Amino acid sequence: MSETKLALQKAAAGMVAKQFTKAPTAYQNRSMLTPVAGTRVDEWTRLISVSDCRKIVSELSGLLIPANLETAARQAEVLIGSYPERKMADENIFVRAVTSIFNETPPDIGFYAVDELTRACKWLPSRAEVVDVCSEMLNERKAALRIATDHLEEHMKRGKEKDTAVRYTDLTEQQKSDFDLTISSSIRSMS
């Protein structure tokens, strides 16, 4: 594996840890918001509280808003300017290409991407490498948002089950007698 690929993997791993820094409620629940292969939210899952889920959805939804063009251009300039010797066919085209990547990602992800790439890579990364690093963190944030939404849906499902379930002891005497007749006739028909 090339030195650049190793540096990019290291950069991506470092950024995943920073995905919740601007979302305090998500940060507190980060262990439950990290997707694990093959797991899903179901009736056996320990859930995040409803109020925390709503805060997490609000925080992470706000943190998915892409950067404006000015911020994206500045991030691209910092990334490219951090490498003293850079060989590009056309510098303006490369700046616009990298700016378009940062313009599609939230500002904090662009900031962390620039920071991690300039720490990890000795040479100017290609556009594809910048996309890989930004996508890694963005996908982690989207997955955490999906998990929080799944927790909210499971809370609603569990709440409905509790509201619609009726215990035998809560039935009136007439309802108990009707239920007993139904059960006994079903048992007789099976015999």
pTM score: 0.72
User: Residue 17 pLDDT > 70, yes or no?
Assistant: no
Q: What is the pLDDT of residues 95-150, one digit of tens each?
A: 999 999 999 999 999 999 999 898 888 888 889 999 999 998 899 899 999 999 99
Does residue 169 lie within any of the structural domains? no
Query: Which domain, by its residues, includes 106?
Result: 3-164
Supply the mean pLDDT for the chain.
84
Neighbouring residues of 152: CB distance < 8 A, sequence distance ≥ 6: 50, 53, 54, 57
11 is written with which tokens? Answer: 């950069």
Number of domains in the chain: 1
Does residue 171 lie within any of the structural domains? no
Greater confidence (21 vs 15) lies with: 21
How many whole angstroms separate alpha carbon 180 and alpha carbon 51?
42
Does residue 187 lie within any of the structural domains? no
